[in-house]
A and B are shown apart, each in its own frame.
Chain A
Amino acid sequence: MSNDAKSGTDGQWPLWEVFTQAKSGAPHEHAGSVHAPDAEIALQNARDVYARRGEAVSIWVVPTAVIAATSPSDTGPFFDPASDKAYRHPQFYKVPQGVRVF
């Protein structure tokens, strides 16, 4: 028996982000992550970790390292092109009283 957890092939496998779809027609949502040496085992691990009770009908795994994300520091400037465009919302437009639009 070896106690040396770092020996040989016992390294840390790459991280994969797991997205599960609860039922057909629903979007895939982030469930968590797993470590796995490849995509096939990542899918199996994701099933065992995040879908033991039929929580998913479909699973995506994505290597964490390839995900690009906005960072909190540019949240303001990055998204503010949308913040002064009230005319993209239906409430911006006046309708004669008593008319049903929808």
Chain B
Amino acid sequence: MTPSNVAQPAADDPIRVAAFEGRIAAGETIEPKDWMPERYRKQLIRMMSQHAHSEVVGMLPEGNWITRAPSLRRKMSLLAKVQDEGGHGLYIYCGTETLGVDRHDLIDQLLSGTAKYSSIFNYPTLTWADMGAIGWLVDGAAIVNQTVLAKCSYGPYARAMLRICKEENFHKRQGYEIMATLSKGTPAQKAMAQDALNRWWWPSLMMFGPSDKDSPHSAELLRWKVKRKSNDELRQRFVDLTVPQAHAIALVLPDPDLKHNTDTNHWEIGPINWDEFFNVIKGNGPCNRERLEARRRAHAEGAWVRQAAEAYAAKQRGRAQSTAA
């Protein structure tokens, strides 16, 4: 639980690695104090911290619209959703700490710009319909991903995912409801929904990461059951779920090549523009700088809350000591 409790292996002993891989193959769950290869620990720290950062940065594009929500009902929902995302970040940071890292250091890495987070949050939220598109597509893609991660071999990550999955369904449904409502509205409202779908569809598909043949970590992560399905399989599952949802609310997916394969019963998409994806990862997305600046500002503006909490705790301790004396 504390970093000092974590077993500190020296070099990875091949016999221990074989025993570890035997446990994984037998479907056992790896817990924080169990022996694990350094590489497994590193890969999990990388994945989990990026995931936690993504939840935290993910609050920003939607946080932009809380004060501009079109009704009190929508405002309450959006506020609750954004608060959930903050909670998701905390669940996963807490899981990452079981691997012997400090949350404080992870947050430093995020604020200093050295940590990665999901590229999807570097796109701007231009209209209210973007709140619909994000809930429906971005949270929809996250559900597909996280449902599988809930079966991952590392216990604390899997348990955090279970907790998160229970909350994500509300995120997706509130987004889809926004899109359905706009689509049934005035021509201008319907056009707004369609425009949001046009802008968010491809970035959502890219959330699953590059095709497995171009994904450097995939094979190892699959063998260790950190990942249970390939990027392409998860993307396909998302496409198959989402296409009929778009049809049901009379919106058109921005892919002229999209077609249903009656043999496989899968929807087949056209080629993904991976140049755009890697460009956004490198920091050239429309909002990379803005997101980090907003996050740093929020952290700095919250300093007084942290100070007040500490002062209060110190005062309470002082009182307890003087009554005990």
Taking Cβ atoms with an 8 Å cutoff, the residues of A that contact B are 1-3, 5-6, 8-13, 15, 17, 32-38, 40-41, 48-49, 52-53, 64-65, 67, 69, 71-72
Contact = CB atoms under 8 A, between A and B. Distances in A.
What's the interface size class on B, roughly? 35 or more
A78 B301 CA distance: 50
A40 B299 CA distance: 22
Most buried by B among A6, A11, A35: A35
Interface in B255-283: none
B5 interface: yes
A5 B97 contact: no
Given A34-B90, A49-B90, A64-B2, A3 B102 contact: no
17 contacts: A1-B296, A2-B300, A3-B112, A3-B300, A8-B307, A10-B303, A15-B1, A32-B94, A32-B159, A35-B103, A37-B312, A52-B80, A52-B83, A67-B1, A69-B1, A69-B5, A72-B31
A1 B87 contact: no
Given A8-B307, A32-B160, A40-B316, A1 B103 contact: no
B104 A12 contact: yes
B309 interface: yes
Contact of B84 (A8, A34, A37, A52): A52
A5 to B, nearest CB: 5
Given A1-B297, A3-B111, A52-B87, A38 B313 contact: yes
Nearest to B320: A38
B223 interface: no
A17 B35 contact: no
B310 interface: yes
A11 B103 CA distance: 11
8 closest residue pairs by CB, A with B? A37-B313, A38-B313, A12-B104, A1-B300, A33-B94, A9-B307, A64-B1, A32-B94
Contacts, number: 85
Interface in B1-20: 1-2, 5, 7
A5 B160 contact: no
A53 B297 CA distance: 29
B296 A9 contact: no
A34 to B, nearest CB: 7
Interface in B289-325: 296-297, 299-301, 303, 306-307, 309-310, 312-314, 316-317
Contacts of A67: 1
A65 B90 contact: no
Contacts of A36: 309
B108 interface: yes
Contacts of B35: 72
Contacts of A9: 303, 306-307, 310
